[in-house]
Homo-oligomer: A and B are copies of this chain.
Amino acid sequence: MQSGFTRQQASTLSGLSCRQLDYWRKTGLVSPQHQTAGGHSRYGFVDLVVLRAAKRLLDADISLQRIRKCLQSLMRFLPASEHPLAELSLVVTGDVVLVFHGERAFDALTGQEWVFPIAELAAEVEKLQQPQPRQGELFVAEKKLGVRA
């Protein structure tokens, strides 16, 4: 076994057409990791993972242009992280792709992150619901110190 997957192999294994692979390479979406001396493509392991991910996204009706932007973000995680892929998930919904890494969720496109637990809101409301504090002493202390006023 040599250095990587040929175009044909990559196509078969990813479910993408050779035409797509060519176009994607030409437009910089997924470029094969190596080349042969003769200038032929050799796709690497990470390439294949990316190609399969892209295929899934396409199947989920995510447009290529969106995938283009998302993969840029995904790529940052893929080769980099220590526990690389195990803790990494994609959530696809509507036309948004999220990258989950542990507890955090990033919009693969914007990099924006915003998660908030409902329990937090409920706790806030619950606190407001009882202006009479349970811990009387603390309340008194606050009044004395003028924390609330």
Contact = CB atoms under 8 A, between A and B. Distances in A.
Interface in A66-96: 78, 85-96
A119 B56 contact: no
Please state the number of chain copies in the assembly: 2
Contact of A49 (B52, B89, B121): B121
Nearest to A89: B117
Interface centre among A87, A100, A110, A125, by most B CB within 10 Å?
Answer: A125
A49 to B, nearest CB: 5
A68 to B, nearest CB: 16
A89 B89 CA distance: 17
Contacts of A45: 122, 125-126, 129
A88 B117 contact: yes
A91 B118 CA distance: 10
The A interface, classified by DSSP as helix, strand, loop or mixed, is mixed
The 8 closest A-B pairs by CB, nearest first: A93-B107, A88-B118, A96-B96, A48-B125, A85-B118, A85-B119, A89-B117, A86-B119
Contacts of A125: 13, 45, 48-49, 52
Interface string A42-59: 000100110011001000
Contacts of A117: 85-86, 88-90
B114 A89 contact: no
Contacts of A107: 93-94
